[in-house]
Copies of this chain bind each other. A is one copy, B any other.
Amino acid sequence: MSQVDKQLDDIRAEIEQEVPSGISITEVAYEGPELVVYTRDPKTFASNGDLIRRLASKLRKRITVRPDPSELSEPSDAKATIENIIPEDAGVTDLDFHHDTGEVVVEAQKPGMVIGRHGSTLREITQEVGWTPEVVRTPPIESSTVKNVRNFLKQERDDRRDILERIGRQIHREEMSDDEWVRITTLGCCREVGRAAFILSTPETRVLIDCGDKPGAEDEVPYLQVPEALGSGPSSLDAVVLTHAHLDHSALIPLLFKYGYDGPIYCTEPTRDLMGLLTLDYLDVASKEGRTPPYESEMVREAIKHTIPLEYGDVTDIAPDIKLTLHNSGHILGSAISHFHIGDGLYNVAFSGDIHYDDTRLFNGAVNEFPRVETLVLESTYGGRNDYQTDQADSERKLKEVISDTIERDGKVLIPAFAVGRSQEIMLVLEEAMREGDIPEVPVHLDGMIWEATAIHTTYPEYLRDDLRDRIFHDDQNPFLADQFNHIDGGEEERQEVADGGPCIVLSTSGMVEGGPIMSWLRHVGGQDEGTMVFVGYQAQGTMGRRIQNGWDEIPVNDGGGRADTLSLNMDVETVDGFSGHADRQGLENFVRTMNPRPEKVLCVHGDESSTQDLSSALYHEFNMRTFAPKNLETFRFV
């Protein structure tokens, strides 16, 4: 009998001692990080409201209780009963029964009403039909990404169950080493921005944090081939943690599966979906530009299939000696600071991922309270001595001014924007400005991936800023559903109509005018001298966006027929900064200053050479902590 089986036997005995007589346990199994308890008496189990929490705390495991398959009523009967129990206002849009797990997935417009006060409705469902309800939100804007991911996971459910069981046994294996150490190896994004990748290792466990590409430097990928990473075989990696879905953190996650990795990816649910969206687009762009994509779309599906979504604050065993907790980092939807608790109180490391310290319209500011943390790995994008950003209120004032002026002279406003994060922030600014009469109410057209990314945001309102979430939850005043927002889904014909029409605002990808529908918009409205083009995001050196900022007004474009041509840009060109998703130098310092507890050591990464060194030096002098600006391919030992 394996050690894991013996452990499960012991746990089962402990559970049987703990539950009231009359509840029979038929199986106890690991499924990923969770312990699943099967019972013939799910109703009695469910009626003991506190029992699961008591077991979880006693066993120090996340516990899910499922009915033994023999206890499940017929789906057709169960369907009627469930529809009876859930209030009609909940807006149930789908019920899906899974015999293998005894779960019924309830898709509803208002998941809160399906759950009920303290889960009372869920318990009632279980008591009545035996099935365990799992609730998902019906996206208020239909997202094809979310739909595809959920359909795919449904279809792969058997396979996924095997994967989760294997991972579960791996997580709960016996510790082999008597030795104690904690190390971080840098595989990328040190003294540079891009190709984020770190190894956190102990004698027992190896975890990869992020695996991104480096924009504008095709050949510079993370150093995955060194022995500390995948050099001794992909199976030597226990887990992958993804802080957020931006490609400089996520692009090469699917590549791991091509290399033979077969373990879990931990991230939030929106990060999983956004990763799917962005990596598929990444492959698409590569093939359109005539490059060989580093992996096939099949590998994106593998990555999704191996993802174990975690919510902020869930303390999760990911190895015999490591517990992972994700915390909001304020950067984009689902972005997370990854906190690792190693050993039994031995050491704690937090990887910031990308952070925004102050609240933005979309997100709460980054969390910086932890039970313990000795070492912080901190992004330094704006860590340079002069990297102070304009206040967002000033930026918004300027944006509104530019828009009002343009509309007044009957012009159109064209805003190139990144699909994920910055577009939604601007949408919130525009919605409020129109609602409060700061700018005239005109149509706002959303083109490219922006609509899809927004749809994903509305699917996960619990990841948005408190008051924004509340508006969506309680007031039915989802700002993203405001009437003026229009999804451009009619192609060139619709764009032509918009171009021929009156004043309006267009948000379109790509954010740096490097392809995508923005090129089409330039053709349609670029010549209109009453219009304004407004940059709201960072334009990298060498991009068309940067050139236009610098005064270029002859833009090389392909017309629809594929012929090369040049168009004259007659629009005004304006730049409004202050909408960054990154903390500026002040924000980074504030993050560390108010961090509780304050870490002993900080590794400054994810910034160019001078930014990381400036920040490292400033934190050392200000807070008297040990600080480093590591190079790629170094290993630091902490215990």
Contact = CB atoms under 8 A, between A and B. Distances in A.
Interface of A: 181, 183, 185, 226-228, 231-233, 236, 631-637
Contacts of A181: 633
B634 A636 contact: yes
CB-CB nearest 10 A-B residue pairs: A635-B635, A232-B232, A227-B227, A227-B232, A631-B637, A633-B637, A231-B232, A634-B637, A227-B228, A634-B635
A633 B633 contact: no
23 contacts: A181-B633, A183-B633, A183-B634, A185-B635, A226-B228, A227-B227, A227-B228, A227-B231, A227-B236, A228-B228, A231-B232, A231-B236, A232-B232, A232-B233, A631-B637, A632-B637, A633-B635, A633-B637, A634-B634, A634-B635, A634-B636, A634-B637, A635-B635
Contacts of A631: 637
A46 to B, nearest CB: 47
A181 B186 CA distance: 14
A185 B634 CA distance: 9
Oligomeric state, in number of copies?
2
A183 B632 CA distance: 11
A74 B286 CA distance: 71
Contacts of A232: 227, 231-233
A219 to B, nearest CB: 8
Contacts of A634: 183, 634-637
Nearest to A633: B637
A633 B201 CA distance: 11
Contacts of A233: 232
A637 B185 CA distance: 11
Contacts of A633: 181, 183, 635, 637
A633 B183 CA distance: 8
Given A181-B633, A227-B231, A232-B232, 16 more contacts: A183-B633, A185-B635, A226-B228, A227-B227, A227-B228, A227-B232, A227-B236, A228-B635, A231-B232, A231-B236, A232-B233, A631-B637, A632-B637, A633-B635, A634-B635, A635-B635
A346 to B, nearest CB: 15
Contacts of A228: 226-228, 635
A183 B231 CA distance: 16
Nearest to A632: B637
A233 to B, nearest CB: 7
Nearest to A631: B637
Nearest to A636: B634
Contacts of A226: 228
Contacts of A185: 635
A43 to B, nearest CB: 51
A271 B14 CA distance: 61
Nearest to A233: B232
